[in-house]
Structure 1
Amino acid sequence: MAPASVFQEEMDAAGQQQTPAVPGVRLQGLPVEILVEIMSNLDFESFDNMLLVSRRLNSVVEAHWSFLLCGIVEREFTPVQDFFDTLWGVNLPEMMTCSQLLTVCSTLNGFQPLLNFCRVIKRWEMEFPSLRFSILPLHSRSLSPNELCRLRQGLYIWWRYARSFHGPAVDVDNTSEARRTFLRRFSTTQLHEVNDMRQTIRSAVQQKICPSVTLVRGFRGKLATKEEAARIGWGELSENSDIVDTVMKLHPAILLHLLVYRHRYATRASMIRFIRLRHPGIEDGDVESFRETISDVLFERGLSLFWPFPRPGFPDTYGGVLDHADAESEELRAAYSTDGGTGVHDYPQWRREMDASREVRSAKLEPAL
């Protein structure tokens, strides 16, 4: 027998004498204590997927979610205080820990609203980079952890502002001074960051949801007649601007839905019906006031949307939510991060007169025929 054959027979015999392999341990067969320990170290997406694996894992999550989510919220949804303030729509005591806040959450609105809120924030994180770099796509990239934190903080501010001043609530104090009081608590750095986020999203609304007649003709080229473009587009110039700023009054979760699922609405009329259904009073009063209020608060501090930072943000590929291009500008971010709560609270007469004479832009969704 050839040496190679002898060697192969010896190897086969040795393999047959080995101890049989131990069957693999199934995740669902583990004790609850070990499952809880494993799931508490997952990222949010993996944690969310656990709900779909089996009934047993789903029941474990629902029984222990206030413990499981503590580490996930602290790792992936910072600033934690702003996260819960936004979720509940109130200013919570700052001394409470994330674990304590989740325990309170379990007795107030429960697991499902919290889970849905986390899903919306994560979807914004996923969609925002493509919106932020839409005008300069060659520079497109993922956001760094610091940039994601700024984005979330901006979303939390915008979310609470929209709920307080753009929502369907009745008898809410929606005066200019009430809006300024809300934003005064935030630092100049935070206001510049949230304005960058707002500009990015407004540009996306103007491009993807409510394009002007001229933009429609630019997209479709010679295929679109002027009449067809007018049927599809959302007005021109100031009219289009008013419509876009009316749509910007929508709740961030609804606006996200429109940006992601725009293809579901075949006509302008179908989208208008959806918007009116989700926000019945959206055409009452004036257009969204977020940018105007930020400008007012910065004016009180002797600043503006274009200073002290060298770049306002969007559409530049740095500044605002994104890191600045140089270290000196990043130092300004720290220098202007502690002036929250400052500003003029007793307006001089000339300022009140200017507020009274400010042009009112009425909210509208349908362009004139």
Structure 2
Amino acid sequence: MALEAPLSPTAARIMDQDSVGIVQLGLGALHLSDHRRLSSAHFEAMLVPASLGLSDVPVEISLLIFRALDMPSAFNLASTNKHFKAILDNHLDSILLPILTRDLSPLDGLLQAIVAKPEDLDRPQSICLSRRIKHKTKLLCEGDSEYDEKTKKFTAPILVELDSNHIKRLQHMYKVVKGWERLFSHYRFVNGEDRRALLPHESERLRGALYYWMRYAYYFHGNLPRLSPWIPRKDSTDVRCNWLRLLSDPQLHEFEDLWATVRVIVEQAICPSVEFVRKTIGEPLTTADLDKISFGSAQGILMPGLTPWSENARWINVNKRIVDTFLKLSPEEILHLVDCRSQYSKGKLVRMMRTGYPNILQDTQSLTSALDAVLQERRESRERALSGSFLDLPTDLFSTARSKRWARSGGILDWIGVDDEAIREYWARNSKQLLKWDSADDANLPEPVIMPSGKIEP
């Protein structure tokens, strides 16, 4: 007696797709009219070889699968067996480039950030030049040539070839960038009801500014020797200012927007002031309780030993000094502190900073002063260009944008109003504006001021 067995969905789907009615079974053929004499499991076992799996997919299809994944998933897939690892190793460029372009653009800024190294400071001017970056035979970044005053010729761009260490940095960078896309959206909007995910082009603006911050933090805020002990000044040859002068007007404004948001993050999530803690908790706290949580007052206080009527009276903002010290940390380190803040008491955080960053008290962050100096240069340059002009154009675009930025739009975000968004049309798109290299020009500037020392507790 024939055994009547219903087909499973898999077998039925195969049967429906067979227009001829014959399924080849290796040594012979079985007519479809006889399929019900077999059990469903037996039938499927003959249809699908036991060894068939994802590793049997053609390499061309595997490449499409790799490119559709994000970077962590692509490397996780490659770690499952030797077959996929060989595919990733042999086609690394054709797999990673589409992923990086899709998820981490602008690609040039990303690659310039991962190839930064301490030896770059041996020639300070060279850090203002993009590297020529290649992987094996694939050219990824063209790089900038440097003009040699002695030979009156342009030198070849500095060449960097990506190795396995750079690839590991790219993997780690992916997590940091995606973490900042999440964090920026949370803190950028003043009102909770305005909070939203970034649009794709807004995310790209954020990533571009983030890559500039990574390089600035590495060269000028980290453990490398300081190139200058002075506060960055307008019209100076300070390499920190020259580095920001490389940016176009939109890039500079987006960078400023990110930096202002980072300050808010540190002020609220890492080093809250006495005033912020009181406002947030909303109930009376003893002085002892405040001291356990807060990092000093945000209101100015007199320097010890001075009186308000003293000729040399100086007021300091304790919390601001502490925040300016923590702002020297890299994007990765600040992201970690925000995400893991509950694991650090105030005392533990201070101890970690002292032991992990021996030179943290050497100075405070310099990026705010450098940004202010370069923005003022751009503003004055525009005013000079428009003086006597009959064009009805705003002359103080940066102040206009800055005053409106902390509403719901502007900077990295799209402006909500059409008239406000038109401000971008007036910004200069060219980079490398007002670069200054002749140190003799600094003689005409006011006396420089030394960077204030750092502070990590009240």
TM-score range, shorter chain: 0.7 to 0.9
Q: Is the 8 A contact 1:132 1:314 kept in 2?
A: no
Aligned counterpart for 1:275 among listed residues 353, 360, 369:
353
Greater helix content: 1
Indicate how the Cα distance of structure 1 residues 182 and 112 shifts in structure 2: closer, same or farther if over 3 A, else same: same
Question: Could you say which residue in structure 2 is the equivalent of 1:255?
Answer: 334
Higher CA-based Rg: 2
Indicate how the Cα distance of structure 1 residues 337 and 16 shifts in structure 2: closer, same or farther if over 3 A, else same: farther
1:74 matches 2:74: no
Question: Could you say which residue in structure 2 is the equivalent of 1:325?
Answer: 416
Report the Cα distance in structure 2 between the residues aligned to 1:363 and 1:132, rounded to whole angstroms: 26
Question: Could you say which residue in structure 2 is the equivalent of 1:3?
Answer: none
1:84 matches 2:139: no
Report the Cα distance in structure 2 between the residues aligned to 1:57 and 1:307, rounded to whole angstroms: 53
Aligned counterpart for 1:100 among listed residues 117, 139, 157:
139
Shift of 1:123: 1.7
Relative contact order, CA 8 A, sep 6+: which one is greater?
A: 1
Report the Cα distance in structure 2 between the residues aligned to 1:14 and 1:236, rounded to whole angstroms: 86
Indicate how the Cα distance of structure 1 residues 93 and 244 shifts in structure 2: closer, same or farther if over 3 A, else same: closer
Matches within 5 A, 1:191-202: 191-202=252-263
1:310 matches 2:394: no
Q: Is the 8 A contact 2:229 2:450 kept in 1?
A: no
1:244 matches 2:323: yes
Matches within 5 A, 1:1-369: 16=36, 20-21=43-44, 22-23=47-48, 26-44=53-71, 46-51=73-78, 53=80, 57-58=84-85, 60-62=87-89, 64-89=91-116, 91-93=129-131, 99-101=138-140, 105-107=161-163, 109-133=165-189, 135-170=190-225, 172-173=227-228, 175=230, 176=232, 177-222=238-283, 224-237=285-298, 238-265=317-344, 267-285=345-363, 287-302=364-379, 307-308=397-398, 310-312=400-402, 314-343=405-434, 345=436, 352-353=445-446, 356=448, 358=449, 360-367=451-458
Matched residue type, 2:101 = E
Q: Is the 8 A contact 1:77 1:83 kept in 2?
A: yes
Report the Cα distance in structure 1 between the residues aligned to 2:275 and 2:186, rounded to whole angstroms: 23
Report the Cα distance in structure 1 between the residues aligned to 2:65 and 2:5, rounded to whole angstroms: 43
Indicate how the Cα distance of structure 1 residues 60 and 325 shifts in structure 2: closer, same or farther if over 3 A, else same: same
* Shift >6 Å, 4+ stretches: 9-15, 94-98, 346-351
Q: Secondary structure at the match of 1:310?
A: helix
Indicate how the Cα distance of structure 1 residues 263 and 101 shifts in structure 2: closer, same or farther if over 3 A, else same: same
Question: Could you say which residue in structure 1 is the equivalent of 2:150?
Answer: none
Alignment gaps of 5+ in structure 1: 1-8
CA distances 1:266-304 after superposition (whole Å, capped 9, x unpaired):
x1121122233443312102x211121111012112259
Indicate how the Cα distance of structure 1 residues 301 and 106 shifts in structure 2: closer, same or farther if over 3 A, else same: closer
Report the Cα distance in structure 2 between the residues aligned to 1:344 and 1:43, rounded to whole angstroms: 39
Question: Could you say which residue in structure 1 is the equivalent of 2:302?
Answer: none
Report the Cα distance in structure 2 between the residues aligned to 1:30 and 1:190, rounded to whole angstroms: 44
Indicate how the Cα distance of structure 1 residues 280 and 349 shifts in structure 2: closer, same or farther if over 3 A, else same: closer
Matched residue type, 2:421 = E
Shift of 1:314: 4.7
Shift of 1:79: 1.5
Q: Secondary structure at the match of 2:224?
A: coil
Q: How many pairs are equivalent?
A: 353
Greater strand content: 2
Matched residue type, 1:126 = R
Report the Cα distance in structure 2 between the residues aligned to 1:81 and 1:56, rounded to whole angstroms: 31
Report the Cα distance in structure 2 between the residues aligned to 1:273 and 1:161, rounded to whole angstroms: 25
* Pairwise CA RMSD: 3.4
Report the Cα distance in structure 2 between the residues aligned to 1:178 and 1:277, rounded to whole angstroms: 30
TM-score by length of 2: 0.68
Q: Is the 8 A contact 1:184 1:297 kept in 2?
A: yes
Report the Cα distance in structure 2 between the residues aligned to 1:59 and 1:141, rounded to whole angstroms: 41
Report the Cα distance in structure 2 between the residues aligned to 1:302 and 1:168, rounded to whole angstroms: 33
Q: Secondary structure at the match of 1:284?
A: coil
Shift of 1:145: 1.0
CA distances 1:68-114 after superposition (whole Å, capped 9, x unpaired):
11111122222111111111126435697994239965437342122
